[in-house]
Amino acid sequence: MAEVRLQKLLSERGIASRRKAEELIEQGKVKVNGHVARLGDKADDRKDIVTVAGKRVAKAEMPVYLMLYKPRGYITTMNDERGRRCVAELVADAGTRVYPVGRLDRDSEGLLLLTNDGDFANAIMHPRTHIPKYYRLTLRTAPTDEQMLRFAQGIELDGRKTAPAEITLLLTEPDRAVAEVVLYEGRNRQIRRMCESVGLEVVRLKRNAEGVVKLGMLKPGTYRELTKAEVNGLRAAAVKGRAQTRSAAQQSKAAARRPRGPVGKNAPRKQK
């Protein structure tokens, strides 16, 4: 690879996000060929020795993109100080170290992306991306029209309203109901907290798809590599999502700058 900025290199190696990498550089913890690096410095890991806190950064590996069916009972992390089961155990034979793209809580199951491509992971997880995620929920009772409307309007969590979510009732039985929820953001335990907020009890929560990637017939605890089309589809969705967010923000600013009230010929004349 050619020379690239250090924060980009560290992000691509899965060391840290670009912002965190900039902090490490500013703290003097990053060196290139033994010299303390500064923001803006570049390096080529084919010929330069880059270290972070004294540890050498591994050379570039071929990018790997995986889809795992995370079973219930596993933590979405690569290690756990409390000794709980982690998704790292399920991809230990992947041939390279990969990291989760987003999360699923311990009691949830389904599709979880993992990769060693830091830029790809950051693009997918960026809050402005809004790649749709599809979940199948088993509930104790069927949601009412009012509860479904609150999902569509957004629900306040931690003092901030969620993005509108789509909820569709698929099945109703005397002792349970099944619904599909589509989220366009990824806050911590978001669906469970939204359901709790409106008075719905979640029995089972499964992520079936993220963007163009679908869980399909993959069995719990197993994984497969994403196809080139799936990787490109996720990249395209991330670019499209950020562009739409940027356009919406620009339109909002433009609307705020427009004069209010009648203008031109219809404007009230000043009294002499």
For this structure, is 117 an active site residue? Answer: no
* Candidates 41, 48, 105, 119; catalytic one: 105
| CA distance linking residue 141 with residue 100, whole number of Å | 32
Length of the chain: 272
| CA distance linking residue 214 with residue 162, whole number of Å | 24
Residue positions annotated with a catalytic role: 105
